[in-house]
Amino acid sequence: MLQALEGSMAIARTVALCRPQVVAAYPITPQTHIVENISRLVANGELNCELVSVESEFSAASVVLGAAAAGSRAYTASASQGILLMSEVLYNIAGMRVPVVLTCANRAVSAPLSIWNDQQDSMAVRDAGWIQLYCADNQEAVDSTVQAYRIAERTELPVMVCMDGFTLTHTLEVIDIPDQQLVDDYLPPYQFARALDPGSPLSIGTLVSPDYFTESRHTHHEALLQAETEIIAADEDWEILTGRSCGGLVSLEGPEDARIGILSIGSITGTLAAAMETFRDEPAARLIKLRSYRPFPVAALKQACDGLTDLVVMERALSPGSGGIIGIEVRAALAGMQDPPRIHNFAVGLGGRDVPLEIYPRLLAAIREEAPSGFSILDVELDKIDENT
Amino acid sequence: MIEIRIHGRGGQGNVVAAYLLATAAFEEGRFAQAFPSFGAERRGAPVTAFVRMDSDPIRHRCQVLNPGFLIIQDQALLHIPGVTDGLSHGGGILVNSTISAADLSDRLGQAVVALPATSLATEILGRPVPNTALLSAFLALTGLLPQESLLKALGARFHGDILERNTRLVNEAASLVQENAWREEARAASA
C-alpha cells in the first residue's frame, strides 16, 4: 500500500514483514530511527521477535551471528563508527557463511566527527565477504531488504543493504509497503541447513591450519561471484510480484546512443537523473547505477559501458593516498575491453556536503577540460584551506 | 514542482512541519518529499527543512536552493544571513511574527505575510509550537492543497486531545490570512 513514510520507518516495517526472529542493535548514535521503530513495533505487539538492545555494535553483530547460526532469521542495523566497531564480527559472519541481513545507513567516519552522509563506512568493510547492495531511493531500500533475506538464505552469505544516511533514512516520501501475504509468498520460513543443534554439537569458525585456510577463502570468493545469479533472480521474481525492479546488478537509464556515461552508487543517481531533465541543453548521458558492489559485476559493467567514449565514476568515499575506490575497480574491470571509454573519477558529497543539480554541467565541463588519468574531489573548496596553518 | 523551505529553531517542530506538508500532498494524490537539513540536533539551533511536491515522482536528492515559498517559524531568523537566499522572484514568505507584514515586506523586498502563530498556539495548544498554524495559513494563502488534506495528515500523526486542539488551531489560523492571496504565485511556482 502506498504511504507517506520516513525512510527509517519504512525499513522498520519492511523488516517486520520479513518476520525476523531476532533483532539485535545498539540503540544510540550512530543508530538511525530504524531500530527505534522496530522496538516500537515489538512493544505494540505488531512484531513478535526477540529484540536485544546491546551495549555496543560489536555485541549487536555477535548476537545476530549466534542467532542466525542457531537457525533464526536475524536483523541488525548500524552506520559509521558502528559499522567499524562491528567489523571484526562482520568478517566472522561472512567467513562462517551465516545468512544475516544488515542495513547500513551510510554515514561518514570520524575524525573529524561528522554525523552526515557519505559511504566511507560500508566501503571500509567491502572486503569482509558480505554481499553489498546500494539503494537509489527508499522504495529500493524497502524492496532490497526483502530481497536481501532471500539472497542471503539461498547463498548462505550475509547481505548488507546500504542506504544513504539522512538523505534516505530521514526523508519522508511516497513508498509502497508490500502486503504481508506477498512477502510471505516470496520469502518462505528460514531453514538453515547447518543450524547449530545442542543435540548434535558442532563448532564453527574454529582454527584452520594453512592446509585449508586458502581453500576456505577461495570457496568464499567463488560463492560471492556466483551470488550474481541469485541477486538477479531475486530482483526478477520480485518484479513479477510487485511490478518493481531494483535494477539487478547494474541498471541503465538515458538515451541508448549517449557517448558519455556516469556511474554512480546510492541516492545520488536520482539527483543526476533530475539534473539531466533540468539541463536539457547539455548532452544527455547514460546513467549507470551500480547496485551490487559486492559481488562486483564485471561482465555487466563491461556491457553497460559498451559504446561510451567517456565514463565518469562517482565516489561517495575516499581512499586517502590513493583516491577513488570504485574508480580503481572500474578501471580494472574495463581494462580488457575493446575500445574502452576514457575513465574520469570524482568524489563528491563527503560528510554530507549537498550535491546540487549543478553537479551535472560541472561534471560535463570537468571531463572536457581535464586529462582523464586522475582523480579529484570535485566539490572541494580550496579557498577554505589556509596553507599557512 | 513546488519547492518550499522551512526555517525554524530546534524544538519548533520544523521537521514535523515538513513531514505534515508532504503527507498532506500525498493525501491529495501528489508525490511528495520532505527532509531536514540535518543540522546539530539541539533546541534553539537554527534548523532548515525542505518540502517538494509534484504530480510526477521526485528524483531529486539535493537541498532546496530555489524555493517558491519560505515558511519562517521564528521572526528573529530573518536577521540571519542566507535565510531568504534563493527565494524565487515573486515567491512568498510566511513568517511567524507579531510585527506588521508591511514593515517586513519593505525590509525584505518580497511579499511577506505575518501570522502570530506562537501566541495562537500558546492559547489553543497550551504550548508555543507554531508549526501547524503556519501550515494551515500557508495552504489558505496558496490554495495548493485543501485544508482537509492537512487535517488528514494531522490525524495520521496525532490523536485525542492533541489532535482536537491542533484541529481548532489550524481552523483559526486559516481564517486569519487572506484566502488565495498567493494563488497566482503558487501557480507560477508549480509550472
In order of A19, A20, A22, A67, A198, the CA distances from A71 in angstroms are 13, 11, 10, 7, 12
Who among B18, B32, B62 is closest to A174 (CB)?
Answer: B32
Among A309-318, A327-336, B42-51, whose mean pLDDT is lowest?
B42-51
Percent of all residues in chain B with a pLDDT value above 70, rounded to a whole number: 98
CB contact under 8 A, B61 and A271: yes
Question: Are A37 and A15 in contact, with CB atoms under 8 Å apart?
Answer: no
Q: Which of B74, B160, B171, B158 is nearest to B124 (CA)?
A: B171
Mean per-residue pLDDT over chain A, rounded:
96
Classify residue A367 by its DSSP letter.
Answer: H
Task: Give the residue with greater pLDDT, B110 vs B134.
Answer: B134
Indicate the burial class of B168 (C-beta count within 10 angstroms; 0-12, 13-18, 19 or more).
middle
One-letter amino acid at A52 equals V
CA B103 – CA A292 distance, rounded (Å): 56
pLDDT at A389: 61
Mean per-residue pLDDT over chain B, rounded:
93
Classify residue A323 by its DSSP letter.
Answer: B
Rounded mean pLDDT of A213-222? 97
Fold type of domain B2-183: Pyruvate-ferredoxin Oxidoreductase; domain 3 (3.40.920)
Residues of A with CB below 8 A from B35's CB?
166-167, 170-172
pLDDT at A373: 65
pLDDT at B90: 82
One-letter amino acid at A354 equals D
**Among B residues 111-150, those touching chain A with beta carbons less than 8 Å apart:** none
Query: Over 90: is that where the pLDDT of B106 sits?
Result: no
Indicate the burial class of A60 (C-beta count within 10 angstroms; 0-12, 13-18, 19 or more).
buried
Question: What pLDDT band is residue B109 in, cutting at 50, 70 and 90?
Answer: confident
CB contact under 8 A, B18 and A172: yes
C-alpha cell at A2: 502506498
C-alpha cell at B48: 532548515
Q: Is B164 helix (H, G, I), strand (E, B) or coil?
A: helix
Question: What pLDDT band is residue B101 in, cutting at 50, 70 and 90?
Answer: confident
Gyration radius of chain A's alpha carbons: 21
Gyration radius of chain B's alpha carbons: 15
CA A285 – CA A260 distance, rounded (Å): 5
> Does the bond joining A112 to the residue before it have cis omega, within 30 degrees of 0?
yes
Place of cell 539503494: A135
- CATH 1.20.950.20: does it fit domain A251-388? no
Rounded mean pLDDT of B72-90? 90
Question: What pLDDT band is residue B46 in, cutting at 50, 70 and 90?
Answer: confident
The answer to ipTM > 0.85 is: yes
Give tens-digit pLDDT for A303-315.
999 999 999 999 9
CATH of A2-242, one of 3.40.50.10320, 1.10.3720.10, 3.40.50.970, 3.90.1150.10: 3.40.50.970
Q: How far is A31 from chain B (nearest CA, A)?
A: 14
In order of B5, B14, B15, B61, the CA distances from B35 in angstroms are 10, 10, 7, 10
Among A276-280, A336-340, B22-26, whose mean pLDDT is lowest?
A336-340
**Cβ count near A66 (within 10 Å):** 15
- Please, which residues have CB within 8 angstroms of residue B57's CB and are 6 or more apart in sequence? A174, B31
Question: What pLDDT band is residue A371 in, cutting at 50, 70 and 90?
Answer: confident
pLDDT at B107: 81
Who among A4, A268, A277 is closest to B26 (CB)?
Answer: A4
The kind and range of the H/E element at B48 are: strand B46-54
One-letter amino acid at B135 equals L
Q: Which of A34, A36, A103, A97 is nearest to A68 (CA)?
A: A97
Rounded mean pLDDT of B13-27? 97
Q: How far is A183 from chain B (nearest CA, A)?
A: 24
CB contact under 8 A, A173 and B22: yes
- Please, which residues have CB within 8 angstroms of residue B159's CB and are 6 or more apart in sequence? none
pLDDT at B78: 87
CA A53 – CA B118 distance, rounded (Å): 39
Q: How far is B82 from chain A (nearest CA, A)?
A: 16
- Please, which residues have CB within 8 angstroms of residue A56's CB and are 6 or more apart in sequence? A26, A85
In order of A174, A192, A251, B86, B126, the CA distances from B37 in angstroms are 19, 43, 29, 16, 28
- Partners of A312 in the β-ladder: A262, A344
Evaluated on CA atoms B113, B43, B62, A15, the torsion sign reads: negative
Q: How far apart are the first and last CA of chain B?
A: 7
Query: Over 80: is that where the pLDDT of A388 sits?
Result: no
**Cβ count near B157 (within 10 Å):** 14
Polymer length in residues for chain A: 389
Q: Is B22 helix (H, G, I), strand (E, B) or coil?
A: helix
Task: Tell me the H-state helices in chain B.
Answer: 14-27, 101-108, 117-124, 131-142, 147-157, 160-175, 183-190
Task: Return phi, psi of residue A97, to 5°.
Answer: 55, 50
C-alpha cell at B161: 486531545
Delimit the domains of chain A by residue range.
Answer: 2-242, 251-388
What are the counts of helices (DSSP H) followed by strands (DSSP E) for chain B? Answer: 7, 6
Query: Over 80: is that where the pLDDT of B41 sits?
Result: no
Question: Are B142 and B182 in contact, with CB atoms under 8 Å apart?
Answer: yes
Among A69-73, B40-44, B124-128, whose mean pLDDT is lowest?
B40-44
**Domains A2-242 and A251-388 belong to one CATH topology:** yes
Rounded mean pLDDT of B25-51? 88
pLDDT at B38: 65
Please state at what angle helix A80-95 crosses helix A210-242, rounded to 10 degrees: 110
C-alpha cell at A336: 580488457
The residues of A whose Cβ lies within 8 A of any Cβ of B are 2-4, 6, 115-116, 137, 164, 166-168, 170-174, 267-268, 270-271, 273-274, 277, 352, 354-357
The kind and range of the H/E element at A103 are: strand A101-106
> Does the bond joining B128 to the residue before it have cis omega, within 30 degrees of 0?
no
Chains A, B: CB pairs < 8 Å? 70
CA B75 – CA B67 distance, rounded (Å): 18
